[in-house]
Structures are given as C-alpha cells and as structure tokens.
Structure 1
Amino acid sequence: MVAIDEPRDQRRAEIPGPSPDGPAAAPVTPAAPGSADPAGSCGARLVAARVAAGMSIEEVSARTRIRATLIRQMEEDDFAAVGGAVYARGHIRGIARALGVAPEPIVAAFDAAQPGGPTPSFTTPANSFDPLRHGATSGSSRRWGAAMVVAAVVFCAVLLFTLLRPGPSHSQQPGAASSSRSPVAAAPARAEPAPTTPAPTQVSLRLQAVSAPSWLQVSDDSNKVLYQQILTKGASQTLTAKAMRIRIGNAGAMSLNCNGRDLGSLGGPGQVVTVQVGLGDAGACTVEGNPASANPAR
C-alpha cells in the first residue's frame, strides 16, 4: 500500500495543545530550540518552538504579557490584529526569547511572507531593553516618563534656588564689626498726646431717689414730657435730650448726675424745685432756675 503524504497545514492543525498531565505528543516532530524548521512559516515555527519548550499558549502569554488570543492568531499566521509589521516583529522576538529560541529565523520567515518580499531586520543586542521581554506596558512607560519629568522639574527648581539665594556678605568680618560698634543711646520715647474726648452734644441726666421717694416731671427742650411719676426710694432714671426742664417734688431726697458730673441735690427735704439743665461752653452742664438749687459747681 502506498502512503499518501498529508499536507503540511493539515499536520500542523493536528498538533494537540498541552494536557493537564503535560504537553501531549505531536504528530510532527518539532525542531530543537534555536533550530526551527527553515522551511516552515512564521506561525509554524512559533508552534514548533512552543511545543518543544513544553509550554501552553497561556504560559507564553503570562511570560510575555501578550494576549493569548493574539499569540494564537500569530501561530495561525494571522497578524491582522497585531498592529503592523513593526509590532509583529517585536512580539515574535519576545515570544522566541520566552521559548528559548533564536528570534532571527522566525522574524525572517515573517518578513518573507510580507507583500513585496522580506524586509531587512536589525538584530537586537542581547543586553538591550525589550518591553515585551521585561513585561512593560504602555501604562508603566507613561508612569516612568511622568516620574522622570517630575524629577527633572524638582532638580531645576533646586538648582535655580541655589543660584538665586543671596550668599553671606563679606564686606566686613563679624568680629570687627561687633567690636567697632559704639553703643548708641536709645532715643527717648515721644509722649503720645492724650486723645481728646469730643464735647457732648446732648444732656444725659441721671436722677436717683436717695433718701425718700419723690415726684418728678421731666420735659425736653420742645416741652415734650419725657418722664412724669413718683420715683421710689433707691430707684433711678436716666434721660437724654438737648436740654431738659426738671420739676422735683422732694428736692432734698433726689441726687442728680449730668454727663458724668455729680450735681447733688437741688434743694431741701420736701422742697419743690424747678430747674433748666443744658450745655454750656465746651459741653459742660449748666443748671438754671429755682434759687433753692444747689451750687452748680458741686
């Protein structure tokens, strides 16, 4: 019986994925790491290298930070979702390093399958930084960039502060300056003028029944009655107007105070007194009226 050779694509599709007990045996014998089949496509080389390394697609994804669905599409030679040839080459190199194989032959197979023929690829130095190999993401790159910008701003601010800060004056030595100074007598403090109290413009009259009750009637300068009743002993009443006319029924029992000035009593016990209280020169209180009034100067 003559054996019919199956197509290569059908053999690759029959390669089983890893089982829970370990990688399953593949019908096609993969090439050893670092020496993938030179006749295979890019996807076939990735599959052969992964199976030879005994890793699943999920394990490769965890090592390279490349999505498992994207790795599966690349193994099927579908690079439409990768984002362009540049990104595809970077992903291929990252996967090859994770699998322990040389990336250049697989990249060359990818370039050979591109429209227009192979594109010259540049070998990445072994010690160069590969974001796919180190698991960097665009977010971490942005964070590193922001951190470096902040550090540069802080450095510039410190440098500017150092340059603009005035240094110590060297015009004279501190010791010589202190020894050459002669004591200066303190200037006598100038006496501040006492604040002048403005002259009052109204009469503020306080009436108090000191020794006995007394009848009172107080009118202002327009003859309006401000107060009219008996003031009991010990009680007091304060009234304010431009001028006042006061009639007291028991002058000896009453004590008057005008704008803080004590006028005392304006007559004797039981004596009826009528007086006019107003403002004189400089706002001083004046008392005019009944001759029985007490001396206004009291």
Structure 2
Amino acid sequence: MSGSGLASVGQILREAREAQGITLDNAAMRLRLMHRQVEAMERDDFESLGQPVFARGFVRNYARLLGLVPESLLARMDGGPTEPAAFVPTEPALPRSWLTSPWLILSLLGLLLVVAVPVALYAWLNSDGGERPDAPTPAVMQPRPAAAVATAPVAAPADVVAPAPAPASPVIPATTDGTPPEAPASGAVESAAEGSVLHLDFGDESWTEIKDASGRMLMRQLNPAGSSADVHGQPPFDVVIGNATQVQMTYNGRPIDLKPFIDVTVARFTLEE
C-alpha cells in the first residue's frame, strides 16, 4: 500500500492476476517475458526492467492481459494522480460441451445422409413421378435437315488453358554514363510517414519484425551481416529481433540496450515514446 492508502501499481497487477487464477509462469509465457521480469513489475521494481521506456511498455502489456486500463497505471508510474485503476471484466470462456464437437456434428450429418437418401429414393420410385413399366413410350421427334450448314469457328475446349504471356523484364533506366544504377540496400526500410526513427546495425544475420502503433508491419525480413536499416513510424513499436546479441539499436538517436530482453537469442519488447 502507498502512503495515500491506495494500492501501488505492482499490487494492482498482482491482485488482478490472482483474482483471475493466472500463475506467474502463465503470465510470463503469455507476455513472452521472463519470470523475474513479471515478478519485478508486481514488486514495483521497475528499475530492474531497464530503461523507463521498456518498463512502461511491460506494464501496458501486462495491464491489457489482465483486463485493466493501462493509462491509469502508467500515470501512477509518472507521478500522476493516483486514481483507482479501472478494471474491465473479461467474459469467462464458455465450457466446451461434447454436443459442439465437430466430429459429432459430422457423424450426425453422415448418418442423416445414409438414412435420408434411401428413403427419399424409395418414395420417389413409388410416386407418380417415377416411370411405370406400362406407360407408353413417347414418340421421338426427328429433326428436319437444315437448309444450309454455316461454317462457325471451332471453340477451344473448356479444359484447354491458353499459355500466359511471359512477364516482361523490368526496364532499369541507365545513368548518364551508361552504367545501371545501384540497387538500394536490402536492409534499408523507409517510410514516408513522419514519426520516430529506429536505426539498426546488424553485425551478423538477423531476422527482424517491427510493427507500429496501428499494428502495421514496418519491417519483416532477414538482414545480412554488415547491413543497417532505418525504420520510421508512430510509437509504440512491437519489436522482435533474432540473433539480438549481434545487433546495435538506437531510438531517435538514443542507444538501446537489448540485453535485458533477450531470451536465448531473440529479443522481444514494446518500445514507447
């Protein structure tokens, strides 16, 4: 409890998790964090989570997982007014009944077809719609010979597909001295949208995924060793970096330490303003 009698950020998170029956290990797995990082948030030990921008991102994701409004908790971390955190109750998952099993539904449909088809066929054969043996055979109308036969173009069979034309090779304009222009570096990813800038230097091959605040994928590729990339967008960014020990990263010119967020060789974190 804080001096004003209100629960701290960590206590609110812990009580919400325990009320929903979620264990620390389960919360860490769903947040893609380590056990000690989730435990540090519940102890209000945000300094051990690294830079403040990472701590805020962890608290935001944890609050969303527990159905809390993250803005009130983030305001407490910034020294804002200590209003009680709103709790958005999540609807409990409905127990799965054996009556909704897809295998049971498919079995019942198959049984219905097996029973219904013979019954319908028997009813049709014994109704007026079926052909009776004593019914007279209708006369067959012979078509009259055509006066003239018109020559029509032979249509191609429906199953014959005309070969698609080969795609034209892209035309690359030559420079003034006759040499082709240099291709842009494969690791460079630029966006016309204004916003924050992430700069990455890859000392070795690294698979990288970066999404902006709207969930739009800004970068998703394998970056070769020795390359670099600039990513522009609106924070917060969801970042996944493979082989993270070989990657150097800056955020708006500030260096970012990736070591606290590396699990085996992959770093996963949310980067805010």
TM-score, structure 2 as length reference: 0.30
Output the TM-score relative to the length of structure 1: 0.27
Bigger radius of gyration among the two = 1
